Structure 1
Amino acid sequence: MAFLQCSFHSDVLGRACSMNVILPQKVTTQIGMTSSGGGNRRYPVLYLLHGLSDDHTIWSRRTSIERYAAEYELAVVMPDGERGFYTDMMQGPRYWTMLTEELPAIAASFFPISTRREDTYVAGLSMGGYGALKCALRLPERYAAAVALSSVADVRSWLETCRMNREEATRIFGTVKDLIPGRNDLFALAEETVKLASPPRLMMVCGTEDGLLDANRALRAHLESLHYPGFRYEEGPGAHSWEFWDHWIVEGLKFLMEGRSDVR
């Protein structure tokens, strides 16, 4: 596998941005892992999102995501979403537009990654779990599946309990009454997406000692009440920690790659 650190200019944000990218590479002498990229192939791609207190480097620093992705010949794009909840802020930058419109086009122009829906996946943890679910539910024509670990699953509850600085949260989402169901509310988005012929598959995971457990259970109950197809929910021992996420991203990749004929 190859690991690339990429700086690029975002017209949407009006400034320089960063992403780290993992790409399959055809090698024969690499010790301890295998990778069999090469040729003219465009690889399936996972957009992997970080949490509130981290940046685009964190998945490679805290987990073995490069080694895990090698098993599937999967490209991984890890963008810097800062603290914007992958949202076009009420008062601030348009992180949603950058993530879902600008970034995929830039990445596909730089790297041999597919833009087909059946080859495109999204995952994340905490704030990034929220972003991953929102990508799949709001743009179901773009993503085949999503994995959300320890997600901020209920933005209304998040705003009401002020899990972050209230002024900062208000700049992002406004107040609870400002939430637009078709944009940032996962519960309302699910109600629309489930009506489609082929909604993206979803996997949610949360630790039993995680402060976000109740919100995850609430979204699980909502998705189950809608009979959302292709939905998987898991709980296990653990808190809001990298030990938990490193374990479950492995299971998440298995979920994303289910049914692919090109997986080794």
Structure 2
Amino acid sequence: MTRRDRPAPRPRRPRSRAGLLLAAAALAGTGIAPPGAAHAGAARTAPFRAADTGARITAETRLGPNEVDITIDSPSLGKSVKTRILLPKGWSPDAAETWPVLYAYHGGQDDYTSWPRNTDIEGWAAAYEAIVVMPEAADGAYANWYNYGRGGTPKWQTFHTQEVVQLIERNYRANGTRAAIGDSAGGQGAITYAARFPGMFTHVASLSGVLWLRAPGMPALTLATNALNGQDPFAIYGFVVANADNWRAHDPYELAPRLRGTKIFFSSGTTGEPGPGDPPGTPWDVGLFSEKQVGETNVAFRDRLDELGVPYTADIYGAGRHNWPSWIRVATRIWPDLMASIGARRA
């Protein structure tokens, strides 16, 4: 949505000797963990299986015993991008067991390292027997771009909902039980994907996502944000009036009836005032102004679900900026519920 205030980089935990050896192997170009590394399982010998589109994993780099970066050559994007994976203890490419997956989508002006850079998601994940996947999303708006009716690349929706899902399930012992969480644009993406593909996720959570894309003033704010990101603002959804059907097709508010049967959580601030731990702000503070605008769409989305009789859980918490401190407070609270929804056992 907009550039968010980020906390100072979180000091990374010291790596074990095994972790250092893994990193050295990656730097040497092997990308393969040495046999016997703690919890890393056997070195992969079988080739990676491709997705139906032909998307394939071209590199695997182990960052630690349970942390992997993969490079995906994606036909849907027309380029290669990375995805980070957190694996449960005891994971092995040859394990008989399979694990449920939580997808963590990042916000605008960020990348696939956003969650581990700003939160302790590695610690959260380590407490449960589940796989956590953080795919690249760039500033793609979690959509297959309209491109003035021509379609074509980038197809971020196809990348996330088909290519990444299939590559994880075919190569990392993931089963078909999935949940998703996202901040800002990633929150909008999580809710939109759940609505466009009912049954794909058992549980979705949006942290300050825009949940009424066509709310008064929101199209202008969306177009301006995309323009500031250096993109053609009309290439994503098209023109607001002339291509209204395409805007509606990606609007959580419009798609709300399709969410019935999916467990839904969403949260946002609404007052445009600093929340707990936030520095003082001014009325023109972009982090406060944008959160107030986002909050209005969350209130409208809540009212829409009430009208439809679709169950949900919401935390419309009033004061708070469009930033990580707010999202961390919420994410740490709902993480156990997300894990329970996919049947992830305590590690």
* TMscore range, shorter length: 0.7 to 0.9
- How many aligned positions are there? 246
Q: In the alignment, what sits opposite 2:135?
A: 79
**TM-score with structure 1 length normalisation?**
0.86
Whose radius of gyration is greater, 1 or 2?
2
Letter in 1 for 2:141: F
Deviation at 1:25, TM superposition (A): 1.7
Question: How far has the Cα of 1:87 moved from its partner?
Answer: 0.1
Question: How do residues 225-236 of structure 1 correspond to structure 2 at under 5 angstroms?
Answer: 225-229=307-311, 231-236=312-317
- Which residue of 122, 129, 136 maps to 2:180? 122
Query: What is the deviation of 1:106?
Result: 1.2
Matches within 5 A, 1:63-212: 63-91=119-147, 92-114=153-175, 116=176, 119-157=177-215, 158-161=218-221, 162-166=223-227, 168-177=232-241, 178-180=243-245, 183-194=249-260, 199-208=261-270, 209=272, 210-211=291-292, 212=294
Displacement of 1:261 in angstroms is: 5.6
Task: Establish whether residue 215 from structure 1 lines up as the match of residue 297 from structure 2.
Answer: yes
Which 5+ residue runs of structure 2 have no aligned equivalent? Answer: 1-64, 148-152, 273-290
| Residue of 38, 43, 46 corresponding to 2:99 | 43
1:104/1:260 Cα in 2 relative to 1: closer, same or farther (>3 Å)?
closer
Distance 2:183 2:146 in 1: 23
Checking the alignment, whether the CA contact within 8 Å between 1:159 and 1:175 is kept in structure 2 is: no
Q: SS of the counterpart of 2:168?
A: helix
SS at match of 1:44: strand
Cα distance in 2 between the residues matched to 1:183 and 1:202: 19
Deviation for aligned residue 1:249: 1.4
**Distance in 1 of aligned mates of 2:165 and 2:336:** 23
206-215 vs 135-144, which deviates more?
Answer: 206-215
Structure 1 residue 176, shift from structure 2 partner: 2.1
The equivalent residue for 1:244 is: 326
Alignment gaps of 5+ in structure 1: 27-36
Structure 2: which amino acid aligns with 1:239?
R
Identity of aligned residues (%): 28
Is the contact between residue 179 and residue 185 of structure 1 (CA under 8 Å) also seen in structure 2? no
Distance 1:180 1:251, change over 3 A: farther
Q: Distance in 2 between matches of 1:74 and 1:252?
A: 15
- Which deviates more from structure 2 when the two are superposed, residues 120-129 or residues 237-246? 237-246
Q: Name the CA distance, whole Å, in 1 between partners of 2:214 and 2:344.
A: 40
Find the residue that maps to 2:166 and give its secondary structure.
helix
Distance 2:249 2:220 in 1: 18
Q: Displacement of 1:214 after TM fit? A: 0.7
